[in-house]
A and B are shown apart, each in its own frame.
Chain A
Amino acid sequence: MQTQQALVPTEHVELRVFRANPAKASSSHFCSYNVPLEPGMTVLSALLYAKEKLDHSIAIRFSCRMASCGSCGMKINSLPSLACYTQVKDLPKGPITVEPLDHYPLVRDLVTDFDGFFGKHRSISPFLIRRDEKEQETLESEYRQSVHELDDYLQFAYCIKCGLCNAACPTLAADPHFIGPQALGQAYRYVADSRDEAASLRVKAIDNSHGIWRCHFAGACSFVCPKGVDPAFAIQKLRRIVFSHAQRKSAELMPRRQLKS
């Protein structure tokens, strides 16, 4: 089997890589690496060339190289992107600057800490909830769901948890406690699922001072999402649901008050 490159590469691309190790308290800086261009080269493959051939100490997180595992999010020329999904040839000529994602604590170089991100995801109860839990564990047939009902949430289930949306979100820059577009998108994914019966629980989780009302529709989340999830659209739809829940709640309260008086 032949896998060698037949052409000797002549063109190079300069990678400017952000380097820092907070544990060592050394100041952050950029290192430049000159990488020979190969056809079809992604920013991830360029970075791996640098790590394997030029400097083994570059810290980077990656795995599937096909935009499914959500590991290799970073800022490429300031834009939150997946390194494996960004072709070098699609970027403007000149040096490529890669930096860690904003709004996440830095671990080292291009690697950020996602613990808080996963905590926010968990806060919206990201699982199917049924009133009858026993029936949920009875496995003789499926819950029926029409093709149309599936379409209501499928796009929002494409989320690979890469966190680019939260990195792009201007609200998160101002309020680190804001729940963020990823978790809100997933709240909508479950609320919109015809099989789920816990919309009010999720509404409660996001209807607070760091919740859904903080979003001011910059739309940056949807712009950077590599899977077309469109969290901004999910947030719009979710607001309507939160609002109607609030209305229903006050409607429920009204007659009781009248009764008491």
Chain B
Amino acid sequence: MRSHSVSAEGGTAAVLYVDQGDTLESHIYDTIKGSDFLADQDAVEFFVNAMPAQIYQLEHWGMPWSRTEDGRIAQRNFGGYSFPRATLAGDRVGFFEMQTLYDTSRKFDNIHFYQEWYATSLIIDNGIFAGITAIDLKSGGFHAFSAKAGIIATGGAGRLYRFATYGYSSTPDGLSLAYRAGAPVEDMEFVQFHPTGLIPSGVLITEGARGDGAILINSEGERFMKKYAPEKLDLASRDVVSRAIITEIQEGRGLHDNVADMDYVLIDLRQLGAEKIKDRLSGIREIAIKFRGIDPITEPLPIRPVCHYMMGGIRTNINAETPLTGLWSAGEAACVSINGANRLGANSTSECLVFGTQAGAGAAKYAMTKSSQEPAKELIQREEKRLFDEILHGVGGENPYDIQNEVQSIMDKYSYVYRTGERLQTGLRELRELRKRSWMHVDDTSKEYNTNFINVLELEAMFDMAEVILVGALARTESRGAHARIDYPKRNDEQWLKHTLAYYSTDGPRLDYAPVTITKYKPVERHY
């Protein structure tokens, strides 16, 4: 209930109004086109078909969706869509969805939450998921759980970047758990930079603002998106808009914030009028006033592209199953893949709902047929030794928080909106050198609520996934969706219409590839 899903703002995509001209087919094609044709089309079809019922399910559980004049559920426009199908609850969609799900879970006595327990490893017995080891943060105790089935739903890894919309808890621990246990992570080089992160904090200004009529302007007051996406303008897909902003800045039409030392352009909400802003965008107005001292009713906001979403994740199929028997994954942590090389806004919370349902139902059904086994003692002892002897009582002179900041700087610098082989190579070298330094130690000696210990474990996971992103990005010698290589500016379907799979090895990620499922939508060049 504290997860970063609470910060999703603008909408949840679903086809609700076929009578007004929306179609499932259109949501399917918009999603595939948005993905730059890297999405698995069978998964997208399943997803789009399953979504409308999810909106009604949440509504029947108490979700305060915004309403139309006739009392039906309201939707707004969003980037990359041919119909306004982002279902809204003001601009606090993720927050209300989390509250609705948490509150509804309180109906059931057999749902037990282990609040603030940190999973440190998966227990794998003969290639089958058999449980986890975990630390209870409150007491500091180390425990092993035997389990018949598991679901990883730990969200995205956006704190790999410093300028990020993500909360501090969005580190790649869940991804690293699966990766270290032998599951492949897929398409991690595709990192979404949302066009409108508020300077300097990176807090998100929802795409719903542009959906409702806000526009982007450069230092000359020009609505520059007309040059880059003549048809969709400010509502082109996120990768397109983010590249346009960086191009404007690089060509000298950005502004500069001297205090934060950041370049930016502006998002102008003024033409929406005070009433619409207060009614539909009250959350971002509150944020802009509080975190920047600007009221968007009277003044444009300074923004730049900000790390917002990982298209990649633990590889799963349509049933949300990972290649590890007994293990499921859903949400941003997983890669089904419906998002391919670029996710459309409002499809993320949708994905959580559809594939969360798949994972829950599948894991429950599987668990009913299994008996639980005591996990092997030596696995648990080995993990205990690693955690407590090697890490908690590790020694070293370097501040792990400084090292974490350096990881983020490397990612911000070398793996942002535009990339080149040379710079990715430099980033990878710097990352690997950084990893060798003596950061793996914990200064806090208390058992209870030792977040210093957890932060060091998180840093290890950050190194794992930063390396996977850089290695995958370096290998992919094309530009597709959010992965834009200046040295390979074209999409190359002949060689690269395939998913990247990264497997853990002690020498760094081992890459493999898997075909993209194409049903009936042949890849074409994208225009917005």
Docked complex Cα distance between A21 and B442 (Å): 18
Residues in chain A near residue B115, CB distance under 8 A: 114-115
- Chain A CB within 10 Å — which of B258, B263, B442, B451 has the most? B451
Q: Could you tell me how many residues of chain A have their Cβ less than 8 Å away from some Cβ of chain B?
A: 69
Which residues in chain B, 399-417, are within 8 Å of chain A measured between CB atoms?
A: 399, 401-402, 409, 412-413, 416
Known: A4-B261, A65-B168, A161-B1. A142 touches B73 (CB 8 A): yes
B7 near A107 with CB under 8 A, answer no
**B368 interface residue (CB < 8 Å to A):** no
Which residues in chain B, 50-76, are within 8 Å of chain A measured between CB atoms?
A: 52-53, 55-57, 59-62, 64-67, 69-73
Docked complex Cα distance between A138 and B223 (Å): 46
B167 near A108 with CB under 8 A, answer no
A-B contact count (CB 8 A): 180
**A39 interface residue (CB < 8 Å to B):** yes
B6 near A69 with CB under 8 A, answer yes
Question: Chain A interface: which of B95-103, B334-342, B475-483?
Answer: B95-103
Docked complex Cα distance between A6 and B449 (Å): 35
Known: A63-B169, A142-B59. A127 touches B2 (CB 8 A): no
Bitwise interface map of A from 3 to 21 toward B, beta carbon under 8 Å scored 1, else 0: 1111100000000000001
**A259 interface residue (CB < 8 Å to B):** no
Known: A139-B56, A195-B62. A40 touches B449 (CB 8 A): no
B56 near A3 with CB under 8 A, answer no
What residue of chain B has the Cβ atom nearest to residue A130's Cβ?
B60
**A173 interface residue (CB < 8 Å to B):** no
What residue of chain B has the Cβ atom nearest to residue A52's Cβ?
B401
**B4 interface residue (CB < 8 Å to A):** yes
Docked complex Cα distance between A63 and B1 (Å): 12
CB distance from B397 to the nearest CB of A (A): 13
CB distance from B294 to the nearest CB of A (A): 12
B53 near A39 with CB under 8 A, answer no
Docked complex Cα distance between A125 and B106 (Å): 7
Could you tell me which A residues sit within 8 Å of B by CB distance? Answer: 1-7, 21, 23-24, 39-40, 51-53, 56-57, 59-60, 62-71, 85, 87, 107-109, 111, 113-115, 121-122, 125-128, 130, 136-137, 139-147, 149-150, 153-154, 157-161, 190, 193, 195-196
**A/B interface sample: 25 pairs, CB < 8 A:** A2-B261, A3-B163, A3-B260, A23-B448, A40-B291, A53-B399, A57-B444, A59-B448, A59-B449, A68-B7, A69-B6, A69-B7, A108-B449, A109-B449, A125-B107, A136-B60, A136-B61, A139-B60, A142-B56, A142-B72, A144-B72, A146-B67, A147-B67, A147-B71, A150-B67
